Amino acid sequence: MAKKPRKDKRSVGLGGKRPFGMIARLRGYFFAGLLAVAPIGITFWLCWILLKFVDTRVTPLIPQAYNPNTYINPYFPHEIPGVGLIVFVIGLIIVGALTRIFLGRYMMRISENILNKMPVVRSIYSATKQIAETVLKRQSEAFRQVVLFEYPRRGSWAIGFLTGSTKGEVQSLTDDDVVNVFLPTTPNPTSGYLLFIPRRELVPLSMTVEEGIKMIISGGIVTPPDRRSDEQKQIKRVASSTGDRPTIGPGSEMADVPPIPEKVDTSEDGGDKKDA
């Protein structure tokens, strides 16, 4: 009686074909090397693009007598990368120093008065100035905290960034304490939606803003660790979406849960304010 051929229990690839051992290992090595090199390579590539972008626009504005490339080109036939970027940073420092003195402030007021008289330019300038002052100001609360909130439907949650307290007409029309929340899109966090949400419907998260941005860009692939204490991890702050009761806030099963303590500002500015 003839013996039945033994079935090969090795893994079978797509199309029923068994991958060759050496090829499979080489393919694994290739993707492992790509995973190790890609982040570093993309970072250096983006930095190089930014460097060349600034250099090509600032370096031609430097007088030949003050351009280091003028004295180096006879010996080295290539331009030094980063000269334009250095000049650009020095220029910003000089402009910032001038705006701190009386003459600089006087010139800034004259420039603003001229821009405010231009119909289209004044709208763009005022909006840009307000955004820049809000984002760059040291005491600003913009993008200080990552929050979790229910969106776009019941039982579905999204993370956003708290950009400040709602003021003006929007706040005056409601009895709730409303805050501004920026909801970014994936994988491009520079676009998104501005939402006005009652503060009681937000769940503050312990992750940093940088970690939240990484999570959004990666589509959830990069998830920051939970750094809360073991005691805080046992506390549930979001109820189940079953039934008609709210999942968060007054009327929910978690209404009696103690609130999360606010973050203490340990910076020098925060300490100065407390001492004052």
**pLDDT by position in tens, the chain (length 276):** 555 555 555 545 445 555 557 888 888 888 888 888 888 888 888 888 988 888 888 888 888 887 877 777 777 777 778 888 888 888 888 888 877 776 677 777 888 888 788 877 778 877 777 767 666 655 455 677 899 999 988 888 999 999 888 989 999 999 989 999 999 998 888 789 999 999 988 999 989 988 998 899 888 888 888 888 888 888 777 777 766 667 775 555 444 444 444 454 444 444 444 443
Model pLDDT, residue 148:
93
Are 209 and 143 a contacting pair, CB within 8 Å? yes
pLDDT of amino acid 3: 56
CA distances from 201 to 70, 151, 163, 176, 248 (A): 62, 11, 15, 10, 6
Backbone angles phi, psi at 275, to 5 degrees: -65, -35
Helices 102-116 and 119-136: crossing angle in degrees, nearest 10, is: 130
Place of tokens 């800034």: 108
Spell 210-248 as b/e; 16+ CB within 10 A means b.
ebbbbbbeeeeeeeeeeeeeeeeeeeebbbeeeeeebbb
Q: Which two tokens stand for residue 123?
A: 């709208």
- pLDDT score for 274: 42
- Asked whether the whole model's pTM tops 0.85, one would answer no
SS3 249: coil
pLDDT value at residue 193: 93
Beta strands 157-165 and 203-204 are unpaired
Q: Are 80 and 114 in contact (CB under 8 A)?
A: no
